[in-house]
Amino acid sequence: MKKINNDTWYIGDVAITGRAVLAPMAGVSDIAYRLLAKEYGAALVCTEMVSAMGIKYENEHTKDLLFMEAAEHPVSMQIFGSDPEAIGLAAKTVERAGADIVDINMGCPVKKIVSSGDGSALMKTPDLAVRVAESAVKAVTIPVTVKLRLGWDEAHKNVVDMAKRMESVGVAAIAVHGRTREQMYSGSADWSYIKAVKEAVSVPVLGNGDVVDPLSANAMLEETGCDAVLVGRGAQGNPWIFNRINHYLATGEIIQEPSADEKLTMLLRHFHLLCHYKGESLAAREIRTHAGWYIKGLPEAAKWRNRINMVHTAESFEAAIGEYRRDITKN
């Protein structure tokens, strides 16, 4: 392998040390998981996407999403919307909240988002997308970044032109998911467009799509020349992936996957963080999805996933995990 270092690089004036970044994911990259990802080697953590209109109208849930801890920094906070004025206001709010970077989501493929002209729908309206980005750039002193897809569909892959236009209005870095909106998350990511964007702009480029382990992270960095990899689904129930990528890039050695015991211990930590930040009742509901990822591939995972889905308190969750741990140890 070609040696790829974990040296410091920059988005604007924000120093980033390492090449593995936690991607923004709704329902995943909340404060609890960001803290775990950071502890386990994420060079930069990105928040769940926050609605620019929600910020404008001071939605209470939106306010909760703006909270960050000092230990997370550097933090990129992602906003979404297609109204330039609202995006400018949201960017200012994000800056005041203490984010190091404001990121604009132009890649989310979910119907609820694109039906309002937001997310990857902006790939269909590049002139509006440029005005949205420019509004944010003019509103704040921190760096503004954007996350793009290849285009709306196979016939309209306009990411290279979009990236150049984003750079021209002052965007400080560009993340590219190697799929179209039409693909959603199916098929394989086409990394060749990430390479094309990297060759077309002078700002840092972050590659996203199908990075699931140290080998795929290294392959993307080598094949595309991108500055960092954005790890999304590969990080679900897997905060260890960041240190494993970092170690492989530095040494060429693969750190083994965590054991069943380590996975259950981390699941408990994740749950306790959720309890701390969101309260026991909400934590008991939200941990269910995460638990499915943590225990995937472990013995009798389906049975225990169903059991975990029935718990409503910290006491019952801890009891279930303790029982599962004893079962695995016996077998």
* Catalytic residue set: 108
Q: What is each CA distance from 7 to 15, 44, 215, 250, in whole angstroms?
A: 10, 13, 19, 10
> Rounded to whole angstroms, how far apart are CA atoms 218 and 178?
16
CB 173 within 8 Å of CB 143: yes
Q: What is each CA distance from 277 to 67, 76, 105, 264, in whole angstroms?
A: 10, 19, 25, 20
Nearest to 259 by CA among 297, 233, 291, 288: 297
CB 228 within 8 Å of CB 19: yes
Residue 16: strand, helix, or coil: strand
> Rounded to whole angstroms, how far apart are CA atoms 43 and 22?
8
Q: Which helix (H) or strand (E) holds 265?
A: helix 260-278
Contacts of 243 (CB under 8 A, 6+ apart): 40, 41, 255
> Rounded to whole angstroms, how far apart are CA atoms 73 and 59?
25
The two tokens of residue 190 are 């086409």
Q: Which helix (H) or strand (E) holds 8?
A: strand 8-11
